[in-house]
Amino acid sequence: QVRLQESGPGLVKPSETLSLTCTVSGDSIRSFYWSWIRQPPGKGLEWIGYIYYSGRTHYSSSLKNRVAISADTSKNQFSLRLSSVTTADTAVYYCARLVDTDFYSWFDPWGQGTLVTVSS
């Protein structure tokens, strides 16, 4: 069974960089795509970006100037860095496996999510 687990600081100061790691078990990150998604409190889901183990990445147009996703195949982990954060970046951050085909894609499974609060 594939499991994903997010980890990282729950509190980040404004203007600093948010850093999270997703540890994958039960599957190798050398397959599929691996993605980050966030959800501000009481609001909807927002796709952040994804990475293929080779290093190929793709980011949301609204976040691409501040976001970087990387992968460490030796640890079977992938990571998110979001720079220059503001209170608008306060959200539950989820990692998920992305299965992508020519005509459809889906996220499954998801991690349990981790709340990151941006506050001084």
Partner 1 sequence: SSELTQDPAVSVALGQTVRITCQGDGLRSYYASWYQQKPGQAPVVVIFGKNNRPSGIPDRFSGSTSGNTASLTITGAQAEDEADYYCNSRDSSRNFLLFGGGTKLTVL
Q: Which residues contact partner 1 by CB under 8 A?
A: 35, 37, 44-47, 50, 58, 60-61, 94, 99, 101, 103-108, 110-113
Q: What minimum distance in Å lies between the beta carbon of 94 and partner 1?
A: 6
Strands 18-25 and 3-7: antiparallel
User: Distance between CA atoms of 40 and 91, rounded to whole angstroms?
Assistant: 4
Q: What minimum distance in Å lies between the beta carbon of 108 and partner 1?
A: 5
Burial of 94 (C-beta count, 10 Å sphere; 0-12/13-18/19+): buried
Q: What minimum distance in Å lies between the beta carbon of 120 and partner 1?
A: 27
Nearer of residues 37 and 71 to partner 1, judged by Cβ: 37
Answer for the pair 3, 22: CB distance below 8 angstroms, yes or no: no
Q: What minimum distance in Å lies between the beta carbon of 36 and partner 1?
A: 11
Q: CA 51: distance to chain centroid?
A: 9
Nearer of residues 16 and 63 to partner 1, judged by Cβ: 63
